[in-house]
Structures are given as structure tokens and as C-alpha cells.
Amino acid sequence: MSSKTLDLAPASVEDYRKLAEKRLPRAFFDYIDGAAHQELTAKKNILAFESLQLRQRILRDVSNIDTSVNLLGRALDFPLILGPVGLAGIFARRGEAQALKAANKAKIPFCLSTVSICSIEELNEVATEPFWFQLYVIRDRSYAIKLMQNAAAAGCDTLVLTVDLPVVGERYKDVRNGLSGKTNLMGSIKKAINIACHPRWLWDVAIKGKPLVFGNLVDAVPDASGLKDFKSWVDSQFDASMTWDDLGWIREHWSGNIIIKGIMDVDDAKKAVAFGADAIVVSNHGGRQLEGVAPTLDMLPEIVKAVDKKCKVIVDSGIRSGLDIVKAIALGADACIIGRAWAYAIAAKGEDGVTHVLEIMKNEMRVAMALTGVTKVSDIDADILN
């Protein structure tokens, strides 16, 4: 990487990616940046957005651009959500808390991952707006219920149920870096050397950012001596036997909004509607699960048509700019979720980085709306596409 990266004045998500790569130990950067197998699906997610062309229109009154929307009863400054990112507190000191503050300032939702470093309770102490909570489908139903109760007690009004992890995808970079699978002695030595070569991260996060545990799971793994013990418990909890018929207990124990995340099929979208989901997320997990699946943007229009406005449709995977948000809205999405984009920013510059990325994306959205001749999000439709 060029030494100029150190002096980079970031202007895009990609710039923050470069800064994050410089600051983080290799294993943790690759955890954010990597995907399943050869990472082709992750690349195609981005390419799908890049390939979709906007239709430039001129001489229209675009002096008053309004990016605001209403989503699930909440007014947002623009249609974006900071999605659940596991281990964010490893990328920056108490990373989830910093990202939540940025989301609150930007007046958009933040969703806390089950496998976050910061706990639900820690986030509740700094939140000025209700945050969302993401729940995996886990075998230990009693602990899942406990997590939902903790989230409700903290004022969370929306539960994001991630359903595309009956098994963990094969992520080659995580295996090579020792984050999954077995690590030999030489691998452990190389990892330690690489961490030592990142003294700023080591001091700010590994030393001053403690406790580095999965904050929501300390009661489930009380004897854990490190993150690997928590990961072993989490990996054992993914429930491959779960079906649509088993989701009734979720509604029994959660009175707020329910979002089903991981929909990539029309029939599954219809089943989510039948279940009573308030929203679905068209998502292939950023390409981190099934290699060879379609880009989310390709699946979005037919899924939007299938749900027929019976629930909100959100999309993630591959969104890197405000232009991408406009393109997704044009194809029928109600909002977008970002994961890697804010993870790069939190790793590079903490809360300030996330705040800046959100400002960048919102401004990019405003420019795209103005130059396609629309002034309100409700006016964005397929007519602005070539």
C-alpha cells in the first residue's frame, strides 16, 4: 500500500477502506473485507450497482431536495440503516457505541449485532434514539428470549432476525488468518507479529478498549477466557433445523417490529409476509455465505413485486455510495442497509469516520436526485434509470 494512504483526505467509502486496511491488523481487516470462497458474489454485488445507469435530466427545479423518509413509524433523514456488524468493538475502541452515536446524529437507525463487543445495556447508556437489535436463530431458545427481553428493556423497538446462517459460510481469509479453524504455531507467530506492527490499534483497542468479549453473551459463556471461547459457543448455536413453522415463538416474545433478514427468493419473501414480518431485507449477507448466489440488486425488483407493499423492503450487500441508495430506491426498495461501509469508517477514524461517511452518502444521494430531476424520495422510481 502506498505511503500516501497515511495522508489521504477521505472522500468516499473506498478511501475509508484503504485507511482501515492501514490501521487494522490483517486478520481483522480481512474479517471485514472478506467473503465466501473466491469472493465472486461479494464483487458482483458491487458490480450490479455500478452497472445500473442513471438517467440524467436537466432544467427541472431541483432547488429543494428532500431525502427524508418514514420507515416503520420513524422519521429518517435519509433511507439508510447502519446494519449489524459482528466484532465492531475490535475495529475501534467500543466501536458499536461510537457508531450508534454517529447514527443518532445522522437521524438514522443503528442495529446492534448479537455478537457485538458492546452489550445492549452499554449502548442503552449512550443512545439518544431507539436502536435496533439483530438476533440469530440459535438453538438455545431460552437465551434468545433473554436477549429479546434485554433489548426490549433497553427501548429497542425493532428486531432484525437473521435467517441466512443455518451454517457458517466458507470464508477462506478467516481460515488463513486463524479466525476460524485451527491455527498452527507458525500462524500464531505471524499473527502476533502483525498485531505488534499496528501499535496504534494495539494501544487504542486491545489495551484501552477492554473488555474485549461478546457483551451480549457473557451470561451464556461465563467461563470464557477469550473471544475464541465465545465463537465456539456461537458456532454451536446456529440452528440448521429451524423452519418457517418454528418462528411463532419469536412473535410470542417480541411485541415490536420484526424484520426478516436474508431473503433472496420470491417464495421466501411471500412466506415472510404470511408470517407477518413488518419488513424484509433482501440480502445475501454481503457475499459472506453462499458463493454463486445472485446479486441482491438483481433479485430486488421481483421480490418487491411479490410482496406487493404488504411489508417494507430493505436491501443490503454492495452498497457503497449515495448513488447506490438512489438506484435501490428506483428498483422499489424502501431503504438500504450498510455493513462494510460503516465498518471501514469506524476502523479508520471511529465515530468521526462514520459521521463523515454518512455525510458523504447523504450528499451523494442529494446530487444524484438533483441530476436525475427528482426532489423527493417518493418520486424516485424506475423512470430515473436508463
**What letters, b where the CB count within 10 A reaches 16 and e where it falls short, cover 159-190?**
bbbbbbbeeebebebbebbbbbeebeeeeeeb
CA dist 240 → 22, 104, 291, 319 (Å): 37, 35, 18, 29
Task: Kindly name the residue from 198, 253, 285, 356 that is annotated as catalytic.
Answer: 285
Residue predicted with more confidence, 342 or 181 = 342
Does 216 score more than 70 pLDDT?
yes
Report residue 34's pLDDT band, with 50, 70 and 90 as the boundaries. Answer: very high
Distance CA 376, CA 320 (A): 21
Identify the band that residue 228 occupies on the pLDDT scale cut at 50, 70 and 90.
confident
DSSP, residue by residue, 28-73: HHHHHH--STT-HHHHHHHHHHHHSPB----SS--SS-B--EEETT
CA distances in angstroms from 123 to 131, 214, 374, listed in the order given: 8, 13, 37
CB–CB of 262/290 below 8 Å? no
Query: What pTM was computed for the model?
Result: 0.94
Asked if residue 261 lies in contact with residue 295, where contact means CB atoms within 8 angstroms, the answer is no
pLDDT at 2 over 80: no
Query: Per-residue pLDDT for 3 more than 50?
Result: no
pLDDT tens digit sequence for 13-28: 999 999 999 999 999 9
Determine whether 356 is an active site residue. no
Which residues, 6 or more positions from 50, have their beta carbon under 8 angstroms from its beta carbon?
Answer: none
Name the architecture of domain 3-172+234-384.
Alpha-Beta Barrel (3.20)
Q: Could you state, in order of their start, the residue ranges of all structural domains in the chain?
A: 3-172+234-384
Mean pLDDT of 58-76: 97
- The tens digit of pLDDT for each residue in 142-183 reads 999 999 999 999 999 999 999 998 888 888 888 888 777 666
Higher confidence at residue 289 or residue 231? 289
